[in-house]
Every structure is written in structure tokens, then in C-alpha cells.
């Protein structure tokens, strides 16, 4: 694994300078594609929360080379990331696209499931197999996982875009496109309020 030299000034826990490149998860659709995919989603009331548990979506699974899903995303979304022999990042810089803050401590970061697992459960995943839920929870091919400021991720909780949006308004377009792509790939339903919020966010693109 290639390692990079981390500059000394990046040792600060929070950097307020101009950020580096904004991380872009794979599979973010164009605005036109997202609008078409949104139009094709089934609108339905949310299903029951009964039976939901996070452990029904096995996550942070082994991705090979001693790396789990979280570690892969941290390496993907960071700049100048150095990992030890167990794949754990020992240094690097991470720009959180949700709130525009830059961090140099992995402890300040969560890996957000763009479509929360609870939301997925209520929009179709309750009827899936465990293997199918594991695929969603560890999806590295679609824009379902992104490294963000942990406190912001915890403010989001399991809310959909009708109740929560990234604090950084300039990211609303990308966030909506990511959300729509994941719902489309996994054939998950959306509510009327959710669709309305997504339309509003895509209008900012």
C-alpha cells in the first residue's frame, strides 16, 4: 500500500484553511439521471420499524488486506492517508462535505450511511435477506458511504431529507443525487415528503 508524507501543519485537530478536494463517493449520478431515477421511485408510506436492529445489517465487514469497510472509506475519502499494517489510518486529512470542516483525527469522523439503515428497513429492506442488507451497509460501488464529521452524522440520526439536510447548503445537490441513486439501485420506496424534499434539493443543482 502506498504511503504519503503528512505535512507538519496538518497535525492540528481542526483546520480552518481552504479545504482540499471534496470527497466524491463512486456512482453519483448526473442531475438529469437523478431526476429520472427519482421519477421512477415508488412513493409509499413508510413501513413499520418493528423488528429493526442495526445488527440485521452487518457492517464494517472485511474487505481484504486486513481492511474493513470503514477503513476503506477513510482511505478513499482522505488526503495523504497513511495506514499501519492493520490498515488503520495513522494520519491523514479529511474534509467533511456535510459541514465543510477539515479534520486530521479519524476519531472525529463517522462513516455515514447516506440512506440510513433504519430508513432502508422501512422502505423495503425489512423483506430482504441478511446478505442483501449486508451489501447495502457496506456498499463501496454506489454513493452510500461517506466520511463526515461525527457530531453532524449523529445529528442526522436516521432522518430522511424531509427532516435533515447537510448543514452546508452547497452540498444539498450532491446529497440528493446520492440519496436518489441508492434508493434507485436498491429499489427502495420513498414517501411523499421525502420526494418533495429531494425535488427541492435537486433544484439547487
Residue 52 near residue 118, CB atoms below 8 Å = yes
What contacts 48, CB < 8 A, 6 or more positions away? 122, 126
What contacts 105, CB < 8 A, 6 or more positions away? 13
Select from 201, 103, 204, 79 the least CA-distant residue to 152: 103
Answer yes or no: is pLDDT of 69 > 90. yes
pLDDT digits (tens, 9 = 90+) for 110-139: 999 999 999 999 999 999 999 999 999 999
Percent of the chain scoring above 90 in pLDDT: 88
What contacts 133, CB < 8 A, 6 or more positions away? 56, 57, 58, 117, 120, 125
More confident: 57 or 65: 57
What contacts 203, CB < 8 A, 6 or more positions away? none
Answer yes or no: is pLDDT of 60 > 70. yes
pLDDT value at residue 20: 57
pTM of the model: 0.89
Amino acid at each position: 500500500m502506498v504511503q504519503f508524507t503528512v505535512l507538519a501543519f496538518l497535525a492540528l485537530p481542526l483546520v480552518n484553511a481552504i479545504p482540499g478536494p471534496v470527497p466524491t463517493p463512486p456512482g453519483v449520478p448526473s442531475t438529469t439521471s437523478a431526476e429520472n431515477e427519482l421519477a421512477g421511485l415508488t412513493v409509499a408510506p413508510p413501513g413499520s420499524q418493528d423488528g429493526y436492529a442495526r445488527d440485521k445489517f452487518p457492517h464494517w465487514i472485511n474487505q481484504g488486506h486486513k481492511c474493513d469497510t470503514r477503513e476503506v472509506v477513510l482511505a478513499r475519502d482522505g488526503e495523504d492517508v497513511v495506514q499501519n499494517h492493520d490498515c488503520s489510518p495513522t494520519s491523514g486529512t479529511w474534509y467533511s462535505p456535510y459541514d465543510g470542516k477539515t479534520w486530521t483525527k479519524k476519531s472525529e469522523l463517522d462513516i455515514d450511511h447516506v440512506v440510513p439503515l433504519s430508513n432502508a428497513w422501512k422502505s423495503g429492506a425489512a423483506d430482504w435477506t441478511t446478505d442483501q442488507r449486508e451489501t447495502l451497509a457496506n456498499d463501496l460501488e454506489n454513493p452510500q458511504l461517506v466520511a463526515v464529521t461525527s457530531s453532524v452524522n449523529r445529528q442526522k440520526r436516521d432522518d430522511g431529507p424531509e427532516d435533515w439536510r447537510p448543514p452546508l447548503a452547497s452540498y444539498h445537490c450532491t446529497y440528493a443525487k446520492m440519496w436518489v441513486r441508492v434508493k434507485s439501485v436498491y429499489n427502495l420506496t420513498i414517501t411523499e415528503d421525502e420526494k418533495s424534499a429531494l425535488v427541492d434539493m435537486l433544484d439547487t443543482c
